[in-house]
Amino acid sequence: MPKRDAAPRTADAAPRAAAPNGRPPRPARRAAWLLGPALVAGVAYLDPGNVASNMTAGARFGYLLVWVVVLGNAMAWLIQYLSAKLGIVTGRSLAETLGDRFRSRWSRRAYWLQAELVAMATDVAEVIGGAVALWLLFGVPLPIGGLVTGAVSTAALLVQQRRGARSFEFVVIGLLAIIALGFTYGVFVAPPDAGSVAAGLLPRFEGTESVLLAASILGATIMPHAIYAHSALARDRFTADTAHPGDRAIGTRRLLRATRWDVTIALVIAGTVNLCILLLAAAHLAGVAGTDSLDGAYAALHTGLGAAVATLFAVGLLASGLASTAVGAYAGAEIMQGMLRVRIPLLARRLVTLVPAIALLAAGIDPTWALILSQVVLSFGIPFALIPLVALTARGDVLGGFRNRWWTTAAGIVASAFLVALNGVLLWLVLGGG
């Protein structure tokens, strides 16, 4: 990939795509063309780890943690917008920007290692989720299902590599539509109690396990690899080589306005689907034995709400695994290239994160518990991506006139402090302090 200029763009430097006939697109088409990167990054908020965390939270604690889903989604909006802004204004991803700022080779490698471990935890969740879905739908053994999920996600990455960012977006957005249908259908068939949902908006916990699940939900909602990926997706889509010659009418400010809409649409979809998963479990699986696992939830949905709801749930889980593992692998490759400045073949890169997931499946570890623990790992990786993102987007020497307003930076600091504090409380409780 050619090295990009790290200087902030001027207001008229952002590109606009040409229509197939070589003419500038019409305003409506032009606006639609600007959407997409956030929808791809937003798939990270609908991966199998989200499904396991939200389903388990609803089955064990009913509506108690509704507020965590809503809060996580609100913080995710700010975080994903800042990530996209960094990529649009500088033309560089977060990983590239961080890689350039480390003075020591060893400190850069150490930072890469924690980010790589986060990417591996991400792949564990996504591959296991796809494998469980194939087992539920077709009886495919879990290790083989994991290999199939990895192979299909690799094919999606080949589309991105050979056909470009837009084609990759079409594939992922198509899977996103399937995910949304699969996970929301049951709530419309059997709606939850509105009063109980409202009561769940009151922030509170009930013991160590509820804190663990809250951290898991946040780790699944605000995913570190999505922070890295969104800046790279925005960079890839809005680089100068995609511009129509002589047409620079879309400035950076307009791109950022469109990005706010893009992020809003993506997070409304992701937040609604995540909430529906928790509400479905809270309304129909709470207190039912075995429903704190994906296969148990599937069986209970089949018994209580019918084959259609259960099958669509499994189809949504499969689409979730396929889409999110492709985006996760894209983020992992960007992390390695940006921080270590090395590029390895696609197949080798996939094996780095695919092998641990297959090994866990072959070892017979409970898939649902592995998913939840992977989300806790992700939760601990959040500050290493989020704190630098907030700091970089607040700097005038990085974003120039597009740097954060003071209240945006303050909101980012509050979100970072909250997540770090939650992880500290979680450690204290798990290690025996509570």
b vs e for 289-301, b when ≥16 Cβ sit within 10 Å of the residue's Cβ? eebbbbbbbbbbb
For residue 27, tell me if it sits in a domain.
no
Task: For CA atoms 321, 95, 72, 255, give the dihedral sign.
Answer: negative
Q: Whole-angstrom Cα distance, residue 403 to residue 396?
A: 6
For residue 275, tell me if it sits in a domain.
yes
For residue 10, tell me if it sits in a domain.
no
In this predicted structure, what is the pLDDT of residue 90? 92
pLDDT digits (tens, 9 = 90+) for 152-188: 888 887 887 787 777 888 888 898 999 999 999 999 9
Q: How many CB atoms lie within 10 A of CB 312?
A: 19
**pTM (2 d.p.):** 0.84
Structure tokens at 88: 């649009």
Residue 139's Cβ-side half-sphere holds a number of Cα atoms within 13 Å equal to 0
In this predicted structure, what is the pLDDT of residue 14? 42
User: Residue 125: what residue type?
Assistant: A
Structure tokens at 169: 């977006």
Nearest residue to 93 (alpha-carbon basis) of 232, 196, 239: 232
User: Could you give the C-alpha distances from 173 to 30, 165, 166, 217, in angstroms and in order?
Assistant: 18, 12, 10, 23
User: Could you give the C-alpha distances from 48 to 11, 131, 330, in angstroms and in order?
Assistant: 40, 10, 17
pLDDT digits (tens, 9 = 90+) for 36-66: 888 888 888 888 878 888 888 998 999 999 9
417-424 contacts, C-beta under 8 A, 24 or more apart: 418/75, 419/75, 419/218, 419/222, 419/379, 419/382, 419/383, 419/386, 420/383, 422/211, 422/214, 422/215, 422/218, 422/379, 423/215, 423/379, 423/380, 423/383
For residue 7, tell me if it sits in a domain.
no
In this predicted structure, what is the pLDDT of residue 3? 43
For residue 3, tell me if it sits in a domain.
no
Kindly report the CATH number assigned to the domain that includes residue 174: 1.20.1740.10
List the Cα angle 169/325/264 in 5-degree steps. 50
Q: How many CB atoms lie within 10 A of CB 105?
A: 9
Q: Where are the alpha helices (DSSP H) in 238-306?
A: 252-284, 294-305
Print the domain residue range for 152: 34-430
In this predicted structure, what is the pLDDT of residue 124? 80
* Residue given tokens 């296969």 in the structure block: 295
Q: Whole-angstrom Cα distance, residue 328 to residue 41?
A: 9
Residue 63 is given by DSSP the state T
Q: What parts of the chain have a pLDDT lower than 70? A: 1-33, 219-220, 239-250, 292, 346, 375, 426-427, 429-434
For residue 314, tell me if it sits in a domain.
yes
In this predicted structure, what is the pLDDT of residue 265? 93
Number of domains within the chain: 1
Nearest residue to 115 (alpha-carbon basis) of 101, 137, 130, 94: 94
In this predicted structure, what is the pLDDT of residue 392? 96
For residue 389, tell me if it sits in a domain.
yes
Q: Length of the chain in residues, anyone? A: 434
Nearest residue to 325 (alpha-carbon basis) of 117, 125, 94: 125
Task: Specify whether the CB–CB gap between 373 and 162 falls below 8 A.
Answer: no
Q: Whole-angstrom Cα distance, residue 425 to residue 395?
A: 31
Structure tokens at 46: 């609908």
Q: Whole-angstrom Cα distance, residue 8 to residue 105?
A: 26
List the Cα angle 141/331/275 in 5-degree steps. 70
For residue 13, tell me if it sits in a domain.
no
